[in-house]
Amino acid sequence: MRRWTVQTKLTLWYTLSMGAISAIGALLLYWGYVYASYRNVDIFLREEAEALGDYLSLSPQANVQTYIAHLVAEKDFGGHNKYVQICNDRGEVVEKSANLAEIVLPLPPHKELRTQKKKVFATILFPGAFPVRVVTLPIVSRSGPTVFVQEGVSLEGMYTSLRRLRTTLFFLLPGMLGLSALSGWLMARQVLQPIEAITREARTIEAQDLSRRLPVANPQDEIGHLAGVLNSLLSRLEGAFGQLRQFTTDAAHELRTPLAVLRCGMEVSAGRARSLAEYQEALGVYIDEVSHLSRIVDNLFTLARADAGKQEFEWEAVNLGGLLQEVYEQAELMAEAKGLSVSLHAGSEVSVRGDRLRLKQLLLNLVDNAVKYTPAGGRILLAGDHEESWTRVRVEDSGIGIPPEALPHIFDRFYRVDKARSLHDTGGGLGLSICQWIAQAHGGQITVQSRSGYGSTFIVALPLLSR
């Protein structure tokens, strides 16, 4: 089955529409002309018959034949034949024009003619001639009896004009149809040119060069809106491809470092015989690096499942005060080695709908970051409060802080603020990304406030459980 192009379809629709409109217009023009022609003939015949009737009413004894001959001789309606006939109330012909010869105009059988004395129009056909339009007008003479004045005119001129009009329309309509097809084709081509330009440009855009954009001739029309939407899509694709490339590069970098440490250590260990203590020390380093690799892979797997929407949650009512108490107890153990002080302000008892283990993972990640980047003797605060339908959990530290230029990227995957942080980070730069994902999965959000040298405050906002 042949598939027609949009341009062909638009051209056909336009041509057929204009053809139908032209045909309807031609029919209306033709029937309007027919109606107007008959109306003009009827008006002419009525005026002529009324004039003859007035003459008969005023001068019944006059020479009617002379007056009739004068009427017929007048060439005042296209020069066509006129016919006049006068009948009495019994239908007998009293007078008629000479050009009727043996022909007798029949009286119409209309009741209105005799009872209501109204004029009646009719079209009759003479043998071997064009039809004749005839008006019959009842006239009451001075002597009392009613006579019928009949006047007719040949429709030869009107039929000739109608034939010429039909011929003109017959040749005009195909021409108009052809012009409509040409106009439709040109119009469709003009309308589709921007789409063709967009198509040509889109074919040249590849994954390696997503910075290019489609041309937008007129942003206000429908094609401009389409180009704008496609450009927005290209922008999102460019961002996604950029993140994918960056993610791949960072992941390779994060995995390469511990693998290089493992390889070098093993090569050194295998280079010569060593004591049991040296082998045990080397194995301890290898175990640490393998644990680092395992954490990176676990975090990557978690984020991959989250991106695919396959991460499952065990939803339940979570008492936030109890959860903060658990996190506080673990935070004290984590901070003990560095001599950090940890304090808790749990606030009033509130509950949220969520996955208890994931929420605990979120808060412990934030506490772990606070412990890593807070110098010995510093402090960490866990605080909870609520306002209207939201609860907020703050993890505040007095650590090294975050530079302002790094704040917009702090939740990006594998993002590093500086090398000093990289040395302390054993999670591969994915911990805060996982925190953001958990917060958003619970219908909340996570924000950060920080200044270099003055510590950081991470705020997790979650919707309260509806009672």
Q: Where are the domains of the chain?
A: 6-162, 222-307, 316-463
Residue 145 — φ and ψ, nearest 5°? Answer: -70, 150
Could you report the per-residue pLDDT of 233-277, keeping only the tens digit for each?
888 887 777 777 766 776 676 677 677 777 777 777 777 777 777
CA 50 → CA 46, 53, 95, 151, 387, distances in Å?
6, 5, 16, 10, 99
Tokens of 432: 């805060």
The token pair that represents 55 in the structure block: 């003459």
Q: Calculate mean pLDDT across residues 354-368.
A: 92
Closest C-alpha among 317, 297, 336, 314 to residue 462: 317
- The string of pLDDT tens digits covering residues 317-330 is 999 989 999 999 99
In the CATH hierarchy, which fold is given to the domain comprising 316-463? Answer: Heat Shock Protein 90 (3.30.565)
Q: Is the pLDDT of residue 157 over 60?
A: yes
Computed over every residue of the chain, the mean pLDDT equals 83
Strand partners, 134: 122, 152
Cα separation, 430 vs 426, in Å, equals 10
CATH of domain 222-307: 1.10.287.130
- Across the range 434-440, mean pLDDT stands at 92
Q: Strand pairing partners for 139?
A: 147
User: How many CB atoms are closer than 10 A to CB 196?
Assistant: 11
Question: For position 327, what pLDDT does the model report?
Answer: 93
CB 65 within 8 A of CB 53: no
Residue 156: per-residue pLDDT? 86
- Mean predicted confidence (pLDDT) in 375-381: 92
CA distance 334 to 406: 26
Reported as a pLDDT band with limits 50, 70 and 90, residue 453 is confident
Give the pLDDT confidence score for residue 111 in this predicted structure: 64
Q: Give the confidence band of 423 by pLDDT, cuts at 50, 70, 90.
A: very low
Distance CA 371, CA 442 (A): 25
| pLDDT value for 115 | 59
Superfamily of 6-162 according to CATH: PAS domain (3.30.450.20)
Question: Is the pLDDT reported for residue 112 higher than 70?
Answer: no
pLDDT, tens digit (0-9, with 9 covering 90-100), for 44-66: 888 888 888 888 777 655 577 77
Across 319-341, b (16+ Cβ under 10 Å) vs e yields ebeebbeebbeebbebbeeeebe
377: left (phi over 0), alpha (psi -120 to 50) or beta: left
Report helix, strand or coil for 74: coil
Q: Span 103-123, mean pLDDT?
A: 75
Neighbours of 433 (CB within 10 A): 22
Residue 391: its pLDDT value, please? Answer: 93
Greater model confidence, 83 or 222: 83
User: Coil, strand or helix: which one is 161?
Assistant: helix
Q: How many alpha carbons fall within 13 Å on the CB side of residue 319?
A: 6
Q: Are strands 341-345 and 379-387 parallel, antiparallel or unpaired?
A: parallel
At 422 the pLDDT is: 47
